[in-house]
Structure 1
Amino acid sequence: MALDASVNSLGFAKPPAQTRVVVAMSGGVDSSVVAAELAAEGYDVVGVTLQLYDHGAALAKKGACCAGRDIHDARRVAEAMGFPHYVLDYENTFREAVIDEFADSYLAGATPVPCIRCNERVKFKDLLETAKDLDADCMATGHYIQRKSGAHGPELHSAADANRDQSYFLFSTTPEQLDYLRFPLGHLATKDETRALAAKHGLSVAMKPDSQDICFVPNGDYASVIEKLRPGAADPGEIVHADGRVLGEHRGVIHYTVGQRRGLGIGGLTEPLYVVKLDVENRRVVVGPKELLATRRVPVREINWLGDAPFTSQEEWHLGVKVRSTRPPREAVIRPLSETEAEVELVVAEEGVSPGQACVFYAPEGSRIFGGGWIHRG
């Protein structure tokens, strides 16, 4: 929203027609609406879609793939709204920066979040640099998150719609990137508002379903993808109780995640058991009662800090933290060990905290995000 008559809606002191915006277009309704709205406002819009993967190669499928349909949908929106659209081949970059780490993390017994790495290493790094090469004033995306002006520069805030908020997946956005990025949908109250805007512009994607899975794992079957990427990854081993009893055999550690209860393949039990640890070195899946999942101490590294004062300027930070994308922030004490490492102490123990997940920092009150890091084995 414009602060005064001399500043346009994206915060630049010049007319929209003189403001070039690169819009990262995935082919979905969100980024399509961002591009259409900005074009309708008179901005110099350039749409860019990244071809990140080929389901035929990743999953050994034949025929058309979702990636191809998404590119087609983005191109149709650009044609309808009258702005240029480019497709960039980032398959090699995506495989090296995201898919390979995803597979290796699972093999190491972690539970990775590839969408965060994609934002961090591809969209907000390589694509952002491409936007600058195109002489764009900024890059806009369809993420549900808010960028607000603060006393010390741009701040990252949760979306107005808590059900759509994507802050967990964007914690690694750096201050420099945040200065260049714009998130025009973050203030909307509901997804219905976005679809209404798409319908207003007559976009063909107005009622396109939201994607539910990781883009290169469209059917949610992580294990089959990893087996194709890393042949031999699904070697069998023992399912062991935390007290040492061997309860059965599993079909590969990659088929299990910490906190899992269903599908363990062990019957005749008098109590429900959960995966409490993945012992990759010994090819063991360790199970136990639910209380063994609870933990209060969470080691975190690769921290991206978005606070105004330096991270190490305080011995403790009292903030809220999310250890899973689907959970609300919980009260915690964050003790810096270095600029990029910390020990997080949860006031109330959380269950199923898993290496490979993100730990994202939130203001105790309000919507501001203070960054976050990656959970690892202590």
Structure 2
Amino acid sequence: MALDKPMKLNSLGFAKSPQDTRVLVAMSGGVDSSVVAAVLHDQGYDVVGITLQLYDHGAALAKKGACCAGRDIHDARRVAQELGFPHYVLDYENRFKESVIDEFADAYLAGSTPVPCIRCNEKVKFRDLLETAKDLDADCMATGHYIQRFMGVQKAELHAAADANRDQSYFLFSTKQEQLDYLRFPLGHLKSKSETRDLARKYGLEVADKPDSQDICFVPNGSYAAVIEKLRPEAAAPGEIVDLTGKVLGVHKGIINYTIGQRRGLGIGGGDPLYVVKLDADKKQVIVGPKSALATRMVNLKEVNWLGDDIFTDLAERRIAVRVRSTRPPTDAILRPTGPSSATIELAVAEEGVSAGQACVFYDPDGTRIFGGGWITR
């Protein structure tokens, strides 16, 4: 008697037909997630679109063109209606405020430079929304992020996008392994954003030429200080600008107006150029010094998320590549675990402006795989 041949895996990795595979697509209203929904729907998948309302769109924090604005919800809904799949809007305002906005404000008050988009992916989209996907009996959740997921020998692996200019791995380092098992990223293999827009035109999507969102969705015009002062009025308390010896050079109008590495706008002209090298929230001091004082080779990390095949605490040290800012390419480094979720990074070449609150993302120095990362701490 002949044995039945195993069913071929579909494009999302499931041994069943697309029509029997339910996919929740996280739809921001932009061209990327809209194309994901259109492609999967065209392939016959049982697509369900979800858009999150993350804050009060009538509030002063909202801004036109941001990823969470009311116009974007309308655009996502229209794409679903035109293509003919169900779409829902979920009110996540309280979760977003508690998990992202409040932490963002508190981190700035403490003298750090947070990256709220990472926390939004970690604590809202890939945690709360992912659980909603499971509640809806979805087999997986797909997003429009530019990153790749491959099945390795041991487990699902996270890899950089084919288009280095669009790669979003820096903002997704905290994705847990169990989340990665469930997530899909259908755009990660595309070579350019123009390919995405061409697909949008192919499917007749009105968002085909919609501009990309550039700013943090709840920060109007990129003014962090204005948002934080609204949330935490005490953040604008004045204080001293001092040099590395403690000498007072001037007065500032709140440490929230300064970032590590800043040179302009210090109001202490004369002499050699000075840069912000440290923010002391307890003393309300902005510490400045020469550019050389910004350089560092040793970086301490907390909340490390490890996606490698080895057990993290079993590593004595490991050669990797790291990015300490989203705008910088990976650079050679040595990773040394110091606890279950902490580590030190020794950079091969000193970096300037490394700031607490930013992410340090781990890469395979010889390939495209992401091994996770951690949060830079003092």
Q: Work out whether 1:16 is the aligned partner of 2:18.
A: yes
Q: CA deviation at 1:243?
A: 3.1
Contact kept, 8 Å, 2:63 with 2:69, in 1: the verdict is no
- 2-structure distance, mates of 1:60, 1:251: 25
- 2-structure distance, mates of 1:359, 1:140: 25
- 1-structure distance, mates of 2:162, 2:241: 44
Cα distance 1:66–1:17, how it changes in 2: closer, same or farther (>3 A)? closer
User: For each residue in 1:120-141, what CA deviation from the matched residue of structure 2 results, as whole angstroms up to 9, or x when unmatched?
Assistant: 0000000000000000000000
- 2-structure distance, mates of 1:275, 1:176: 40
User: 1:353 aligns to what?
Assistant: 354
Instruction: Give the secondary-structure state (helix, strand or coil) at the position aligned to 1:309.
Output: coil
- 1-structure distance, mates of 2:47, 2:239: 54
Tell me the amino acid that sits aligned with residue 286 of structure 2.
V
User: For each residue in 1:8-55, what CA deviation from the matched residue of structure 2 results, as whole angstroms up to 9, or x when unmatched?
Assistant: 111111111111000000001000000011011111000000001124
Contact kept, 8 Å, 2:67 with 2:213, in 1: the verdict is no
User: 2:313 aligns to what?
Assistant: 312
Q: CA deviation at 1:245?
A: 2.6
Q: CA deviation at 1:5?
A: 7.2
Instruction: Give the secondary-structure state (helix, strand or coil) at the position aligned to 2:82.
Output: helix
User: 1:230 aligns to what?
Assistant: 232
Name the stretch that deviates more: 76-85 or 235-244.
Answer: 235-244
Instruction: Give the secondary-structure state (helix, strand or coil) at the position aligned to 1:219.
Output: helix
1:165 is aligned, of 151, 164, 167, to 167
Q: Work out whether 1:321 is the aligned partner of 2:349.
A: no
User: For each residue in 1:229-281, what CA deviation from the matched residue of structure 2 results, as whole angstroms up to 9, or x when unmatched?
Assistant: 111210111111223332211110000010111221222x2221110000111
Instruction: Give the secondary-structure state (helix, strand or coil) at the position aligned to 2:128.
Output: helix
Q: Work out whether 1:25 is the aligned partner of 2:27.
A: yes
- 1-structure distance, mates of 2:23, 2:50: 10
Tell me the amino acid that sits aligned with residue 317 of structure 1.
R
User: 1:186 aligns to what?
Assistant: 188
- 2-structure distance, mates of 1:342, 1:149: 27
Structure 1: runs of 5+ lacking an equivalent:
none
User: 2:97 aligns to what?
Assistant: 95
Which structure 2 residues correspond to residues 46-195 of structure 1 after superposition, within 5 A?
Answer: 46-57=48-59, 59=61, 67-195=69-197
Tell me the amino acid that sits aligned with residue 288 of structure 1.
G
Q: CA deviation at 1:56?
A: 3.2
TM-score normalized by structure 1?
Answer: 0.96
Aligned length: 372
Tell me the amino acid that sits aligned with residue 170 of structure 2.
Y
- Over the aligned positions, Cα root-mean-square deviation in angstroms equals 1.6
Instruction: Give the secondary-structure state (helix, strand or coil) at the position aligned to 2:105.
Output: helix
Contact kept, 8 Å, 1:58 with 1:216, in 2: the verdict is no
Structure 2: runs of 5+ lacking an equivalent:
1-5
- 1-structure distance, mates of 2:42, 2:242: 61
Identity %: 74
Which structure 2 residues correspond to residues 259-270 of structure 1 after superposition, within 5 A?
Answer: 259-267=261-269, 269-270=270-271
Q: Work out whether 1:196 is the aligned partner of 2:208.
A: no
TM-score normalized by structure 2?
Answer: 0.96
Q: CA deviation at 1:345?
A: 0.8
User: For each residue in 1:326-350, what CA deviation from the matched residue of structure 2 results, as whole angstroms up to 9, or x when unmatched?
Assistant: 1111111111111200111111110
Contact kept, 8 Å, 1:55 with 1:216, in 2: the verdict is no
